[in-house]
Amino acid sequence: MSSIANVERKIRRIEGFRVRILHLTGADVRGDREGLPQYGYHRASENDITVETWKAQRFRPSYPGFEVDVVDARRNSVQGNTKLGTVRETYQRK
């Protein structure tokens, strides 16, 4: 089992963008909380899917009871209709 911080780091490494794992109420979950499964994917999602699709297909099935906030390189929340490729580009422009 992994901590919140480890899952967030693994998603960053595989998917190419940062996330914040949240309680369903929207409150931030402490990074040292344990007991989550590892992020089970080894390849990044396609650039042309939306943030909301990524959440629905990858995050929510793996981590029921939690929500996730995808953030750009400036640590701003990204809207659900944004393409993952657009989010990843913000990290390359740094």
Total number of domains constituting the chain = 1
pLDDT higher than threshold 90 for residue 88: yes
Tokens of 65: 């009871």
Distances (CA, A) of 12 to 25, 45, 63, 91: 23, 12, 16, 11
Q: What is the pLDDT of residue 90?
A: 97
Q: What is the pLDDT of residue 66?
A: 98
Q: What is the pLDDT of residue 14?
A: 98
pLDDT higher than threshold 70 for residue 48: yes
pTM of the model: 0.93
Structural domain containing residue 60: 4-92
Beta bridge partners of 85: none
Query: At residue 20, what is the residue type?
Result: R
